[in-house]
Amino acid sequence: MIETTVELQHIRAARERIAGKVERTPIVLSQSLSDRAGRPVYLKLEHHQTTGAFKLRGASNAIAALSAEEKLRGVVAASTGNHGRALAHAAKLEGIRAVICMSRLVPENKLDAIRRLDADIRIVGNSQDDAQQEVDRLVADEGLVMLPPFDHPDIVAGQGTLGLEIMEQVPDAASVLVPLSGGGLAAGVAAAVKGMSPGTKVIGISMARGAAMKASLDARRPVQVEELPTLADSLGGGIGLDNRLTFAMCRDLLDDVVLLAEDEIAAGIRHAYEEEREIVEGAGAVGIGALLAGKVKVSGPTVLILSGKNIDMSLHRRIVCGEIIAERAA
């Protein structure tokens, strides 16, 4: 078997490829979180990225790397919403056909945004695994090119460009807290951060309800976990039992993985809104939630990635008003 990995040079090449297609997002000092932590805490405002999440970095890089023949065939992916939206956006810019397969767990606001980008949408089953089966069928039957949400070198390298920006913006960062699901973001960011600053710690944050990467790291091999509804809906889904890239990279590069209860995620969303004046979705709020819950010890300048903002606004209102739905607050 050929060992694949993504290194600093691939991430630098990705940055050249996607220049002009994605925003370099700002980083700001959070006074309130710095006061609590007793250390400077910075927020990487990646939820201000075009399409509302970092996924545009990987999607733009993967599409730019396609051959002319592959571009003619079109692309297909399973998604919890944000990858689909990013892929649809990047494909539309290039005039490429995009088919996005999603489960019924994907929120309506995310579906609407993808529809508006003229992508072809398929809703199948109740999990990412069900959506993936439809992807496999379309690859076999219609010859579409699969660009998965995380387990692909061009996707990981694209997400890694976020890590390059962080180390340029906060060169003395001691820790970087990264939302973690399939691990494309964490693997790419960790490869960039550790490539530039080997001593900087990179910590993954997942929700306790269905944390597939954490369960897999504990088992020392990819394992399946049940997918459950969570406020961090963008962190749902497995890592793939045949994971080729992100499992090994997360195993080798992450210093720790921390899990959050639903009320801790809600507290992160609320703090972002009340104190930072930022609207973030559950997955984007887990870094703040982890700090507020005292689940990570910070030893120096710390960067939290606010990874996305695509939350249903009526849900957001109920969370900031303190009305969290009981069955979701595990």
Ligand X SMILES: *Cc1c(COP(=O)(O)O)cnc(C)c1O
Closest CA to 57 of 83, 27, 92, 94: 83
Distance of CA 152 to the CA centre of its chain: 14
Q: Which is nearer to ligand X, 40 or 232 (CB)?
A: 232
Between the alpha carbon of residue 68 and those of residues 19, 21, 64, 94, the distances in Å are 20, 19, 10, 11
**Residue closest to ligand X, measured at CB:** 308
Taking the complex as a whole, the smallest distance from the CB of residue 81 to ligand X amounts, in Å, to 7
DSSP state letter for 13: H
185 binds ligand X (CB under 6 A): yes
Structure tokens at 28: 């700001």
The residue from 25, 49, 82, 161 that contacts ligand X (CB under 6 A) is 82
Work out how close the CB of 284 gets to ligand X at its nearest, in angstroms, rounded to a whole number.
Answer: 5
* Site for ligand X contains 55 (CB under 6 A): yes
What is the biggest distance separating any 2 CA atoms in the chain, rounded to whole angstroms?
57
Look at residues 76, 280, 301, 30 and name the one whose alpha carbon lies nearest to residue 177. 301
**Which window, 18-26, 218-226, 256-264, 278-286, contacts ligand X (CB under 6 A)?**
278-286
Q: Do the beta carbons of residue 249 and residue 216 sit within 8 Å?
A: no
Q: Least Å distance between CB 310 and ligand X? A: 7
According to CB under 6 A, which one of 11, 53, 101, 162 is a site residue for ligand X? 53
Distances (CA, A) of 226 to 146, 182, 219, 221, 315: 24, 14, 15, 16, 23
Q: Are 205 and 178 in contact (CB under 8 A)?
A: yes
Min separation Cβ 89 and ligand X, Å? 13
Site for ligand X contains 268 (CB under 6 A): no
Given candidates 128, 161, 197, 234, which one binds ligand X under the rule CB under 6 A? Answer: 234
CB of 75 or CB of 86, closer to ligand X: 86
Reported as half-sphere exposure (CB side, CA atoms, 13 A), residue 172 has a value of 6
Pair of tokens at residue 300: 């120096």
Single residue of 308, 311, 316, 328 touching ligand X by CB under 6 A: 308
Asked if 238 interacts with ligand X (CB under 6 A), we say: no
Among 238, 284, 287, 301, binds ligand X (CB under 6 A): 284
Pick the piece of the chain touching ligand X (CB under 6 A) from 122-130, 181-189, 255-263, 294-302. 181-189
| Residue 186 binds to ligand X (criterion: CB under 6 A) | yes
Angle between helices 8-18 and 55-64 (to 10 degrees): 80
Of 260, 220, 211, the C-alpha closest to 238 is: 211
Which of these, 40, 14, 279, 22, lies nearest to 176 by C-alpha position? 40
Q: Which stretch binds ligand X (CB under 6 A): 62-70, 87-95, 122-130, 276-284?
A: 276-284
Among 148, 179, 236, 240, interactor with ligand X by CB under 6 A? 179
Looking at 183, 210, 238, 289, which residue binds ligand X (CB under 6 A)? 183
Residue 201 CA: distances (Å) to CA of 296, 301, 323 = 11, 11, 35
Of the candidates 157, 180, 260, 324, which one interacts with ligand X according to CB under 6 A? Answer: 180
150 contacts ligand X (rule: CB under 6 A): yes
Question: Under the criterion CB under 6 A, does residue 288 sit at the interface with ligand X?
Answer: no
Q: Under the rule (CB under 6 A), what is the footprint of ligand X?
A: 53, 55, 82, 149-150, 179-186, 234-235, 281, 283-284, 307-308
